Amino acid sequence: MKKRTYDDFITCEFCTCYTNSIIRKCCKKGELKDRKDIKSMELIEKIKKLREMSGQGMMDCKNALKEANENLDEAFEILAKNSKLDKSRKDRIVKEGRVDISLSIVDSKNAGFSIISLLCETDFLAKTEDFENALKEISISQYNKDKFENSKEVESIIDDIKAKSGENIELGPIVIKKIDSSNEMIGGYIHHDNKKASVVILEGCTIMDTDVPDGIAMQVLANKPKYANIEDVNWDEIDLEIPESLLSKPPQILEKITNGKKEKFCQENVLSEQKYIKDDSKKIKDVLLEYGEDVKIKEFDFIVIGDK
């Protein structure tokens, strides 16, 4: 009688129990599958994932996985080392990546804030520790700089992660701000997915709960306004889209319609006129008024990876 081997046994897809091919019941419930079939399905899924990561053919990915004992990370590195990730990748679109924010204190009167983004081809690489560390190194290299400097150090960091991953890597959008800390405060926010970050600068204040500027920075990402204050809006350039049928209305009626359109526009596009995300009973301008009549939003900016 032929001796049974490990692969002759079957396993349940819902638990870890094993039984022989004669007894077709599981200790719990579910469909029983041959172990060989399950192993094949797992390999197919890994090949599919590796193809998405590398952009390579099925056989190249299958052979790399076989050489790496089905370890995805090692298989990806094998493809890179074997030049399967060809040099034409520099022309490939970089639509993934992550952002990093940093605050630098120059002295008692000056401070800076930066948002730096690094782009790559796959979300898989963007989430790796190597990619995160590369971005942090670049961010640290810009500490206390008035503007971004694409130095040899930065180029070396990018070249190293390119060589290791085999992907096309590029610097993304960059924001660097400086403030006079004797009269201004800065707030920053980075989303938990590390693909979005924002900064807001408030002027006319020195003492304020830091939760306020950080909360306003969060709101910048949530609503993506176009203007800081209502004074920044040039109404001559804004189309309020008043129907022609209403233009013949009496002046006082037309004025009410126009004011209503302006109010709606401001609620959607002017940061200070929006309801505060942490207390919607107040507008942002009302929150700032609590800290002084001269406190206002000086400027804001944000970066979103993949934003067109």
Q: What is the pLDDT of residues 30-78, one digit of tens each?
A: 444 444 555 677 888 888 888 777 767 778 888 889 899 988 888 888 8
The predicted pLDDT at position 12 comes to: 45
Task: List pLDDT tens digits, range 8-24.
Answer: 444 444 444 444 443 44
pLDDT mean over 214-239: 94
pLDDT digits (tens, 9 = 90+) for 98-156: 999 988 766 667 788 899 999 998 888 999 999 999 999 999 888 877 788 888 899 99
pLDDT at 229 over 50: yes
Per-residue buried b or exposed e for 91-102, using 16+ beta carbons within 10 Å of the residue's own CB: eeebebbbbbbb
Average pLDDT over residues 1-5: 45
Sorting pLDDT into bands at 50, 70 and 90, what band is 88?
Answer: low
pTM tops 0.85? no
* Average pLDDT of the chain, as a whole number: 81
The DSSP letter of residue 210 is T
Average pLDDT for 231-235: 93
Comparison of pLDDT for 66 and 89, the residue scoring more: 66
pLDDT reported for residue 33: 47
Span 272-304, pLDDT tens digits: 999 999 999 999 999 999 888 899 999 999 999
| Closest C-alpha among 249, 80, 42 to residue 161 | 80
Give domain 86-103+113-176's CATH number out of 3.20.20.210, 3.20.20.70, 3.30.479.20, 3.40.50.300: 3.30.479.20
- Position 86 scores a pLDDT of 53
Neighbours of 200 (CB within 10 A): 29
Q: How far is CA 293 from the centre of its chain?
A: 35
Contact 54, 79 (CB under 8 A): yes
User: Under 8 Å CB-to-CB from 201, ≥6 apart: which residues?
Assistant: 177, 179, 184, 185, 186, 187, 297, 298, 299, 300
CB 212 within 8 A of CB 297: no
| pLDDT-derived band at 89, boundaries 50, 70, 90 | low
Say how far apart CA 127 and CA 110 lie, in whole Å. Answer: 34
Domain boundaries, the chain: 6-85, 86-103+113-176
Summarize pLDDT for 251-272 with one digit per residue, the tens: 888 888 888 999 999 999 999 9
Q: What pLDDT score was predicted for residue 84? A: 53
